[in-house]
Structure 1
Amino acid sequence: MADPKYPEVQGGGSLILAWQIRNKRVLVVGGGEVAAGRILNVLNADAKVTVVSPREGLNPEVAYRIEKGQVDYVDRKFEPSDLDGVDMVLTAVDDPEASTQIWKLCKEKRIAANIADVPPECDFYFGSVHRDGPLQIMVSTNGKGPRLANIVRRQIAANLPPRLGDAITKVGKLRQKLRKVAPGPEEGPKRMAWMIKVSDTYSLDDFCEMDDEDMEALLGFYGPDEVPRLECLRAMRGELAAFDGSFGFCVGC
């Protein structure tokens, strides 16, 4: 009998991760429409991309990436030596037999691979992604309904607050500044707890409106572990008349 104190295991899912592939070498086999989408995905993650495909099979977008030098290009069909030094492989070719052969070679070399439109031959799936600056939200159907994932993603995006990406950017900048103020590893728990207070106190609009002077003023309250509201912070900078002179507080806060 299940214990209600603990969540039940629901098998059949995927482990959804934010995979950091910056400066990793990604091989894309194929140059059609599907390959174009895959290439953009990994370029957005700052990967180093090599495309292997005969020139006559190139999609206009893939041809553009090649022309602009955004990817390395090999004008021929795949050869096993293309896997040398590769960290990830994405195939998007209309040849099931060739795709399966590439998959087997990747397994021998322990290279993570995604074989387009063949879920059993994928170490990972591409979901439908909403992007707003640093914010990324992925919807995955675990390879069962990619079109439905796109529909769900659009519905989620339509209900998100405006300027959410801007707010997250400001939070990231504040965290970087905080690490300079309190760089020691022993400060880790306090940094985390203080940032939680800040995130709970400030609204998304507050973060969007925050400038560098606001951040520097706010960081002055890290030591005493205080988090004044934004209007109080600005009052202490002389922008509002509500400040009553007490440390960390102002009239109306």
Structure 2
Amino acid sequence: MNTLFPIFVKAENLHTLIVGGGYVGLEKTTALLANSPDARITLVAPEIRAEIRELARQHPKLALIQEPYHELFLADKDLVIVGTNDKNVNRQVQADCKNRRILVNVADTPDLCDFYLSSVVKKGDLKIAISTNGKSPTFAKRFREVLEDILPDSLQETLDNLTAIRNQLKGDFVQKMEKLNEITKVLK
């Protein structure tokens, strides 16, 4: 049973630490910036891929520290994503985060994760996060591709129209919700 509680965080209001400068670090940094281009990110690793350095040139809030991980890098961080190829470093970061009560994701190690990164479908303002409870990120990615293909690009226009209608509705919250439910029944 999937007991995860899905949330969407305002990453631009958080300071995220990414530990790992290889392919996984690149993948996580790219995903974070794709969803929140103004996210404040510090990436630390002894070696950092050229693609990550290019991202840092394009995103001024992405700071790179080319050093091995140290617990001091957790100061003022709200969220941590770990993706190194050294299981001992990964476990150490997770333990350090636990001691500081910082939420952490350790790539490909569900037992060490406080949260999982989802596969995300984006159509304008619509975002759908897909989770397999850590069982198969590959399935989530394939399902995302299916949804991206079948969801029409006109969804943004629908969302904009519903926002305009909601803003014009009179009454209390319950009355507005009932009216919006009536209007959106056609989506069933």
Query: Please, what TM-score do these two structures have when normalized by structure 2?
Result: 0.84
Distance in 2 of aligned mates of 1:135 and 1:194: 21
Answer whether contact 1:48 1:71 (CA < 8 A) is retained.
yes
Aligned residue for 1:123, secondary structure, equals: coil
String of CA shifts for 1:176-218, please: whole Å, max 9, x gaps.
Answer: x44xx86xxx7322333333344347x8xxxxxxxxxxxxxxx
Residue number in structure 2 paired with 1:195: 180
State how 1:82-161 maps to structure 2 within 5 Å.
Answer: 82-161=73-152
Aligned residue for 1:41, secondary structure, equals: helix
Distance in 2 of aligned mates of 1:197 and 1:30: 49
Residue number in structure 1 paired with 2:10: 20
Does residue 48 of structure 1 match 2:40?
A: yes
Does residue 79 of structure 1 match 2:70?
A: yes
Structure 1 position 151, deviation (Å): 1.5
Distance in 1 of aligned mates of 2:29 and 2:4: 22
* Stretch deviating more after TM superposition (157-166 or 138-147): 157-166
Distance in 1 of aligned mates of 2:26 and 2:157: 28
CA RMSD of aligned residues (A): 2.3
* Structure of larger gyration radius: 1
Aligned residue for 2:16, secondary structure, equals: strand
Query: Please, what TM-score do these two structures have when normalized by structure 1?
Result: 0.65
Distance in 2 of aligned mates of 1:12 and 1:125: 12
Aligned residue for 1:104, secondary structure, equals: helix
Large movers: runs of 4+ above 6 Å: none
Percent same amino acid at aligned positions? 27
Structure 1 position 133, deviation (Å): 1.4
Structure 1 position 12, deviation (Å): 4.2
Answer whether contact 1:31 1:62 (CA < 8 A) is retained.
yes
Answer whether contact 1:36 1:59 (CA < 8 A) is retained.
yes
Higher relative contact order (CA 8 A, sep 6+): 2
Answer whether contact 2:71 2:96 (CA < 8 A) is retained.
yes
Higher strand share: 2
Residue number in structure 1 paired with 2:56: 66
Residue number in structure 2 paired with 1:31: 21
String of CA shifts for 1:12-40, please: whole Å, max 9, x gaps.
Answer: 44222223333111111112222122123
Structure 1 position 96, deviation (Å): 0.4
* Unaligned 5+ runs, structure 2: none
| Aligned residues between the structures | 184
Structure 1 position 160, deviation (Å): 2.1
Answer whether contact 1:134 1:169 (CA < 8 A) is retained.
no
Aligned residue for 2:64, secondary structure, equals: strand
Residue number in structure 2 paired with 1:209: none
